[in-house]
Chains A and B, each alone.
Chain A
Amino acid sequence: MSRVLSLLGKDRFAAVAAVVLALVVLCALFGPPLLGALAVEQNLRAVNLPPLSLDRGWAFVLGSDSLGRSVAARLVVAAGTTMAVAVPAVLLSLVVGSLWGMWAGYHRGWRETVSMRIADVILSFPSLLLAVVVLYVFTPGIANIIAVLAIARIPIYLRTARAEAVELRSRLFVDAARTFGTKDSTIIRRHILPIVAPTLLTVAAVDFCFVMLTESSLSFLGIGIQPPGMSWGLMVAQGRQELRTAWWIAVFPGLAIVLTTVSATVLAAWARIAFDPAQRWRLTVPGARKRSVEPTP
């Protein structure tokens, strides 16, 4: 752990990204209980206050919206909603997709064919269209949004895990385990999962951004999180009505989305190198990482 931290300290971008993500997680954990009341408190004498002024205290440092609610407090509380949707959706698709993919790739045959067909069908269809129909028929609550996002992203892990498992099943150590009479489920758990896991976790980190962006799009379009719930996408939608008079209501939640996704991307790219024993040295030698990216002419 301390080694990871010292590696992180050497890469300025990754360190900043880690701090931003830690802040978002802190907001998501402690924001709703601490600022939940302030975020919904209306104050019709403080409507559309401009940002960056401390006349009304720190709560209104990012201005207020058309009902006089503090934009800063709403941002913090909405971080909780965003995480409450994105984290379970990513975990669900990661677990289901990985297990399914390893199972399909290990057994091959009809199990693989059917699984790959299902993945093709889900992927060949725009995720938003799937969400539109499902969220129309069911009500757009948090659980349904998580389910839609998870189903839409399962194929990503399914394909990755299958490809790796197909390659691993012909390796000598798997053959050896099979000769000893090890059960298939044990081989997958003990011999395939540990090798596939780092790749899948990297995919999950990148996919986290996709899921977050999709959730905010859905909320923005009015088929995701519903008022009085709070989400960054929904806040942008609400600010859109006031764009001419109060630009800050739409700008800050969008910035929050961009900052979070950029940080997650940067940290995922860093983690891919840091957790790969063959590449970790690049982080300790200044400039080595940059040189490695350039192709030799």
Chain B
Amino acid sequence: MLAYLRRRVLSSALPLLVVILGVFFLARLTGDPTNLYLPLSATAQQRADFAARNGFDQPVLVQFVDYVGQVVRLDFGESLRTAQPAATAVLRAFPATLQLAGAAMVIAVLAALVVGSLAAYRPNSAADRAASFLSSAASSTPDFWFAIMGVLVFAVWLGWLPTSGTAGAAAWILPVVTLLIRPFGVLVQVVRGAMVTALSAPYVKVARSKGASERQVIFGHALRNAGAPVLTVAGDLAVGLVNGAVVVETIFGWPGIGKLMIDSILQRDFAVLQAAVLVTAVAIFLLNILIDVGYALLDARVRQGAMA
């Protein structure tokens, strides 16, 4: 188990390192980094001062050592807009995104497990057709447009839900639904496929012949074995959820990390953008480790290192 985890941590750390390096080289080697940090109206004197203060006039190698030190200490400089440390702004926005994405993912997984199992149990039933319609609709509708149509119908025309903000349970409905529709659409197909395989396996026949109830056969026996592929795909989708979160937070004014990123792009606040990207990369790294642990808990063969 420990050897397995060590191997997984090492392989997940590689993308993280690439991101840290990538941000550095993109920022330093494409011309003058002061152009990224300072507004276009800054004078030559201000630029020179800023460069000297932040060590941009040093050799690249010295800058790189400084940069790595800053990343380790989570010190990304100050936000131009608020003059606060960029890391503070990012860490303050982080829980909001985590709550939103967590709620969407939990609901998507649970709903996909139930609907996907039913669809596999009765092919071509109402649940099956609804699942295949929803998943194809989800993969071809842009999420920003889906969100705006939601606002138009439920907030502007019907007036049932607020257009934005985080106050009250009603404000959660549109963002969470927008965010979960894509992972749900993919997951329901994965659950259905895995369950069709599992339900035709011999152990299901054994469970039935010893008199287990149908509900126990589906949810107790078959679903447990269908869990591994579902977990793998759910992990990939959770990473992809960052894409959706940026869009959803921008539309609904959700004070999370995605909105922070877009705001800092539009106002050219590079310190905050850099901090947000790196913190997200670390979060994805941790998430991948968590998924690997879950994978090992679900499948004893992985735990004992029988599978790579």
**Interface set of A (CB-CB < 8 Å, partner B):** 117, 120-121, 124-129, 132-138, 209, 213, 216-217, 220-223, 233, 236-237, 239-240, 243-244, 247, 250-251, 253-254, 257-258, 261-262, 265, 294-295, 297
Which of chain B's residues 256-298 have a Cβ closer than 8 Å to chain A?
261-262, 265-266, 270, 273, 277, 280-281, 284, 288
Determine whether B203 belongs to the interface, using a CB cutoff of 8 Å to chain A. Answer: no
Tell me whether B148 and A136 are in contact (CB under 8 A).
no
Tell me the nearest residue of chain A to B264, going by C-beta. A136
Q: Digit string of B17-32 for contact with A (CB within 8 Å is 1, else 0)?
A: 0110011001100100
Which of chain B's residues 139-198 have a Cβ closer than 8 Å to chain A?
139-145, 148-149, 151-152, 156, 196
Q: Digit string of B228-244 for contact with A (CB within 8 Å is 1, else 0)?
A: 00000000000110110
Tell me whether A257 and B145 are in contact (CB under 8 A).
yes
Say what secondary structure dominates the interface of chain A.
helix
B193 CB, nearest partner CB in chain A, Å: 10
A158 CB, nearest partner CB in chain B, Å: 16
Q: Which residues of A contact B11 (CB under 8 A)?
A: 120
Tell me whether A137 and B145 are in contact (CB under 8 A).
no
Q: Which residues of A contact B151 (CB under 8 A)?
A: 243
Tell me whether B243 and A209 are in contact (CB under 8 A).
no
Tell me whether A138 and B30 are in contact (CB under 8 A).
yes
Tell me whether B152 and A137 are in contact (CB under 8 A).
no
A154 CB, nearest partner CB in chain B, Å: 15
7 further A-B contacts with Cβ under 8 Å, apart from A121-B15, A133-B273, are: A120-B11, A129-B280, A129-B281, A132-B277, A217-B143, A221-B246, A233-B144
Tell me the nearest residue of chain A to B128, going by C-beta. A294
Task: Tell which of A138, A220, A262 touches B144, judged by Cβ atoms closer than 8 Å.
Answer: A220
Which of chain B's residues 1-57 have a Cβ closer than 8 Å to chain A?
11-12, 14-15, 18-19, 22-23, 26-27, 30, 36
Asked, given contacts A258-B141, A265-B140, whether A125 binds B148 with beta carbons under 8 Å apart, the answer is no
Task: Tell which of B30, B145, B239, B243 touches A236, judged by Cβ atoms closer than 8 Å.
Answer: B145
Tell me whether A221 and B27 are in contact (CB under 8 A).
no
A243 to B19 CA separation, bound complex (whole angstroms): 38
Task: Tell which of A223, A243, A262 touches B148, judged by Cβ atoms closer than 8 Å.
Answer: A243
CB-defined A-B contacts under 8 Å, sample of 5: A132-B246, A236-B144, A236-B145, A250-B152, A297-B123
Determine whether B117 belongs to the interface, using a CB cutoff of 8 Å to chain A. Answer: no
B81 CB, nearest partner CB in chain A, Å: 15
A216 to B141 CA separation, bound complex (whole angstroms): 11
Asked, given contacts A258-B142, A295-B196, whether A128 binds B262 with beta carbons under 8 Å apart, the answer is no
A237 to B273 CA separation, bound complex (whole angstroms): 22
Tell me the nearest residue of chain B to A247, going by C-beta. B152
A217 to B148 CA separation, bound complex (whole angstroms): 13
A129 to B18 CA separation, bound complex (whole angstroms): 13
Task: Tell which of A124, A129, A240, A265 touches B288, judged by Cβ atoms closer than 8 Å.
Answer: A124
Task: Tell which of B136, B149, B243, B246 touches A254, judged by Cβ atoms closer than 8 Å.
Answer: B149
Number of residues of chain B lying within 8 A (CB) of chain A = 47
Q: Which residues of A contact B142 (CB under 8 A)?
A: 213, 216-217, 220, 233, 236, 254, 257-258
Q: Digit string of B112-128 for contact with A (CB within 8 Å is 1, else 0)?
A: 00000000000110000
Determine whether B108 belongs to the interface, using a CB cutoff of 8 Å to chain A. Answer: no
Q: Which residues of B contact A237 (CB under 8 A)?
A: 144
Shortest Cβ-Cβ A-B pairs, 3 listed: A254-B145, A261-B140, A126-B242
Asked, given contacts A133-B273, A265-B139, whether A243 binds B156 with beta carbons under 8 Å apart, the answer is yes
Tell me whether B148 and A124 are in contact (CB under 8 A).
no
Q: Which residues of B contact A223 (CB under 8 A)?
A: 262, 265
Tell me the nearest residue of chain B to A262, going by C-beta. B140
Tell me the nearest residue of chain A to B251, going by C-beta. A240
Asked, given contacts A125-B19, A217-B247, whether A133 binds B139 with beta carbons under 8 Å apart, the answer is no
Determine whether B97 belongs to the interface, using a CB cutoff of 8 Å to chain A. Answer: no
Tell me whether B242 and A128 are in contact (CB under 8 A).
yes
A137 to B246 CA separation, bound complex (whole angstroms): 19
Determine whether B250 belongs to the interface, using a CB cutoff of 8 Å to chain A. Answer: yes
A134 CB, nearest partner CB in chain B, Å: 7
Asked, given contacts A133-B23, A254-B149, A265-B140, whether A117 binds B266 with beta carbons under 8 Å apart, the answer is no
Tell me whether A132 and B265 are in contact (CB under 8 A).
yes
Tell me whether A221 and B247 are in contact (CB under 8 A).
yes
Asked, given contacts A136-B270, A217-B144, whether A251 binds B149 with beta carbons under 8 Å apart, the answer is yes
Tell me whether A125 and B15 are in contact (CB under 8 A).
yes
Tell me whether B239 and A124 are in contact (CB under 8 A).
yes
Q: Which residues of B contact A126 (CB under 8 A)?
A: 239-240, 242-243, 280, 284
A232 CB, nearest partner CB in chain B, Å: 9
